[in-house]
Amino acid sequence: MERNTQSLREHYLLAAISDAQWRALAPYLHTHHLRAGQNLFSQGDRAEAFYIVACGAMKLFRVSAQGAEKIMRMVRGGQSFAESVLFSDPPRYPVHAQAAEDSELVAIEREAYLRILRESFETCRAVMAQMTERIQAHWNEIEALSLHGAVPRVARYLLEQLALQGSPQLRLPAAKAQIAAQLGLAPETLSRGLRTLSESGAISVRGALVQVRDEATLRKTTQA
């Protein structure tokens, strides 16, 4: 973990703390290596730590009684997850977490980090800002789920990716079945959605490569 130390400390959850605090925290950091498909924790497990993804990708998901899987969030390198267990009481993980690829994580012990938080308003502020962002994202998702149909959801997802990847040459970051699960759709419906968007001229698709041809149309479709 020595090599990662510096980049880890640049993470927003750790950037604002003092050197002394950093040294105090160090014994409570642990790295984990997971192979694709391996479970990290299950929904309902007692939580002693939260995590930062060094590399790879984790999927956070829930499972319905019939076994259908809904991906709540994909977490990639540099992002953190399960910070919410810092403040829930009793601290339990509210989702399942599983490695979507071979991954490397840093676990941060809950109690130790809370001690840091107590002494650093800037870090508190970072945590709160992060939570705020998450809340906004949830509202958008709830709105999409209850107000819009399947095609707008796909369009919204593509715009998100566009913002994320910069280039109009998108490469889908996961298998389409996974993306479908993230959007709360059947894989077939995602397929048809992409087809519809193609036919409207907004995008063109070949395999996992999506070319955004008309962002304006795409943006309109979002709220249709």
Partner DNA sequence: ATGCGCGCTTGATTGCGGTCAAGGCAACCG
Partner DNA sequence: CGGTTGCCTTGACCGCAATCAAGCGCGCAT
Phi, psi dihedral angles at 159 (to 5 degrees): -65, -40
User: Residue 133 binds which entry of DNA, a second copy, none, with Cβ cut-offs from 5 to 8 Å by kind?
Assistant: a second copy
DSSP code of 90? S
Contacting a second copy within 174-193 (CB under 8 A): 184
Residue 114 CB burial class (10 angstroms; 0-12, 13-18, ≥19):
exposed
State the minimum distance, in angstroms, from the CB of residue 133 to a second copy. Answer: 8
Residue from 30, 35, 125, 171 touching a second copy (CB under 8 A): that is: 125
- Choices 50-58, 112-120, 137-145, 147-155; region in contact with DNA by CB under 7 A: 147-155
In sequence order, the 6+-apart residues with CB closer than 8 A to the CB of 184 are 70, 145, 153
Among residues 118, 200, 205, 109, the alpha carbon closest in space to that of 161 is found at: 205
Asked if 111 is part of the footprint of a second copy (rule: CB under 8 A), the reply reads no
* Pair type for strands 203-206 and 169-171: unpaired
Binding piece for DNA, criterion CB under 7 A, among 70-78, 146-154, 156-164, 215-223: 146-154
CB proximity list for 192: less than 8 A, separation 6 or greater: 150
Nearer to DNA, 44 or 201 (CB): 201
Residue partners of 56: CB distance under 8 A and separation at least 6:
34, 76, 77, 99, 100, 101, 102, 103, 104, 105
For residue 126, the minimal CB distance to a second copy (Å) is 9
- Min dist CB 73 to DNA, Å, is 19
Please give the residue ranges that form the binding site for a second copy (CB under 8 A): 62, 64-65, 68, 70, 72, 84, 86-89, 94-95, 117-119, 121, 124-125, 127-129, 131-136, 138-139, 141-143, 145-148, 184, 223-224
